[in-house]
């Protein structure tokens, strides 16, 4: 009975991770379109949510990589209750590591990889439970680490070449007309990135839930992916995407490069092509690495050739630390869960302990975010060069929960707050949101 309850708890937490993945990664598809005015912020996140939902049903190749390509399932005797419980705790602790890193980086507006946070969490939990032999290191290297190293550079190179060609071909065009056409084009390319994101990221949570179901003895490793898992994960990531994620959208759209419509379209085209290709090959590629690399490349060959290297450096640091930090968090939380299970005499107490860690840690970070909210009305404010936080904007923070946007209408993060800064930016807002 306790295994069944724990399994249900793990599925709920996995879907919450999927939700955080959605609002953390909305920026990958929509940051440039929002920054250039091609789409209004709420329209953009709604469109991304729908396309994430559709994309999640197009393939399960990445889900299979997650389900069997990170943790060595053959070292667990799933006919033995003790081993089954250990594997369930590995999955739970891995999710805890991924969620904590997702929320931490979202709080500071850092576009880090939700995928690598999850992978790092599973690796750390597997090491805690079994040792280093519990990880499929060959699969981690081939399907995760190597793509992570090459993807940003390949995406950046393609986007840089595309941006240069676009400006070369349209050099004699009238700027306003050219930009308007490219804004229309951005709607199409941003939609393609959102669709590609669904084919990649929603499946990672599918793989985790599948792994938990195998551990609980519900079906074998070769069982086809059940439709209910696909639907639940698709819906969760779509809901998370619609909820906003404006902290990260602001960093990618305004903080890294002052982006223009031709650059935005070139970056989105590069991102979509690479993400769709990797999903087809079953590579668990980070859509964040690809999107950020594309935006960076477009900035290098754009009209000003201007990149904010301080912001880029903070992103790179987050990329490097994502796997090890998420692994460390999961390693520690697995031991907390293990000790709680031993003290309580039942694995369920271990699951409750991990759920409390997620609840308290996540709640604290949501509260911290509420102190300086980023929402649809200030996401496009001018970037403060001295700011290390996406929330240092020039607009007033609204006290209406419908405008808090973090994450949008599901959590009120602005109630009772005072305005961040004085000064009027109404004219600029009216211009941006017409």
Residue 394 within a domain:
no
Residue 395 within a domain:
no
Say if residue 170's pLDDT is above 50: yes
pLDDT for position 67: 54
- By percentage, how much of the chain surpasses pLDDT 70? 82
Q: How many domains does the chain have?
A: 1
- pTM assigned to the model: 0.80
Say if residue 111's pLDDT is above 60: yes
Give the CB-side neighbour count of residue 181, counting CA atoms within 13 A: 8
Predicted confidence (pLDDT) per residue in 251-268, tens digit: 888 888 878 888 889 999
Predicted confidence (pLDDT) per residue in 400-429, tens digit: 433 443 343 333 333 333 333 334 444 444
- Measured between alpha carbons, how far is 100 from 6 in angstroms, rounded to an integer? 20
Token pair listed for 229: 């898992």
Residue 399 within a domain:
no
Residue 396 within a domain:
no
- Measured between alpha carbons, how far is 205 from 362 in angstroms, rounded to an integer? 19
Residue 221 within a domain:
yes
Confidence label for 65 from pLDDT (cuts 50, 70 and 90): low
Helix (H) or strand (E) holding 236: helix 227-242
**Region of residue 232 (left: phi > 0; alpha: psi -120 to 50; beta: else):** alpha
- By percentage, how much of the chain surpasses pLDDT 90? 22
Residue 119 within a domain:
yes
Residue 35, preceding peptide bond in cis (omega within 30° of 0): no
Predicted confidence (pLDDT) per residue in 343-373, tens digit: 988 888 999 999 999 999 999 999 998 888 8
Token pair listed for 241: 């995407």
Is residue 197 classed as helix, strand or coil in its secondary structure? Answer: helix
pLDDT for position 171: 85
Strand partners, 267: none
pLDDT for position 363: 94
Residue-number span of the structural domain to which 166 is assigned: 1-371
Residue found under tokens 């306790």: 2
Give the CB-side neighbour count of residue 291, counting CA atoms within 13 A: 31
- Measured between alpha carbons, how far is 173 from 349 in angstroms, rounded to an integer? 66
Residue 286 within a domain:
yes
Token pair listed for 66: 């997650």
Residue 420 within a domain:
no
Predicted confidence (pLDDT) per residue in 308-341, tens digit: 888 888 888 888 899 999 999 999 999 999 999 9
Chain-centroid distance of CA 420 in Å reads 27
Our separate counts of H helices and E strands in the chain read 16, 0
Mean pLDDT of 38-57: 88
- Measured between alpha carbons, how far is 168 from 156 in angstroms, rounded to an integer? 18
């Amino acid at each position: 009975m306790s295994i069944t309850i724990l399994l249900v708890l793990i599925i709920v937490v996995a879907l919450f991770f999927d939700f955080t993945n959605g609002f953390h990664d909305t920026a990958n598809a929509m940051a440039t379109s929002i920054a250039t005015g091609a789409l209004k912020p709420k329209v953009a996140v709604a469109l991304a949510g729908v396309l994430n939902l559709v994309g999640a049903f197009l393939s399960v190749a990445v889900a299979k990589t997650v389900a069997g390509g990170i943790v060595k399932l053959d070292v667990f005797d799933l006919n033995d209750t003790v081993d089954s419980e250990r594997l369930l705790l590995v999955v739970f602790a891995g999710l805890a590591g991924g969620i904590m890193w997702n929320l931490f980086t979202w709080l500071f507006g850092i576009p880090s990889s939700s995928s690598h946070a999850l992978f790092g969490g599973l690796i750390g939990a597997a090491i805690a439970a079994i040792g280093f032999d519990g990880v499929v290191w060959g699969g981690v290297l081939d399907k995760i680490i190597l793509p992570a190293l090459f993807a940003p550079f390949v995406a950046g190179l393609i986007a840089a070449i595309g941006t240069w060609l676009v400006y070369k071909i349209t050099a004699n065009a009238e700027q306003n007309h050219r930009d308007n056409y490219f804004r229309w084009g951005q709607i199409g390319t941003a939609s393609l990135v959102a669709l590609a994101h669904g084919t990649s990221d929603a499946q990672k949570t599918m793989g985790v839930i599948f792994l938990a179901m195998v551990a609980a003895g519900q079906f074998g490793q070769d069982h086809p992916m059940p439709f209910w898992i696909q639907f639940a994960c698709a819906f969760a990531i779509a809901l998370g995407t619609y909820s906003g994620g404006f902290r990260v959208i602001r960093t990618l759209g305004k903080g890294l490069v002052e982006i223009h419509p031709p650059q935005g379209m070139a970056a989105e085209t590069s991102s979509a092509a690479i993400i769709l290709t990797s999903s087809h090959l079953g590579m668990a590629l980070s859509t964040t690495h690809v999107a950020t690399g594309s935006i960076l490349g477009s900035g290098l060959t754009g009209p000003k050739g201007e990149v904010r290297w301080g912001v880029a450096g903070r992103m790179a640091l987050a990329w490097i630390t994502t796997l090890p930090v998420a692994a460390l968090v999961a390693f520690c939380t697995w031991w907390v869960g293990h000790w709680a299970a031993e003290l309580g005499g039942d694995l369920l107490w271990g699951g409750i302990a991990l759920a409390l860690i997620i609840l308290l840690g996540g709640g604290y970070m949501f509260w911290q975010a509420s102190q300086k909210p980023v929402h649809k009305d200030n996401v496009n404010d001018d970037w403060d060069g001295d700011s290390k936080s996406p929330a240092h904007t020039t607009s007033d923070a609204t006290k209406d929960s419908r405008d808090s946007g973090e994450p949008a209408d599901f959590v009120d993060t602005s109630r009772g707050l005072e305005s961040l800064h004085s000064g009027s930016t109404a004219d600029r807002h009216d211009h941006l949101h017409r």
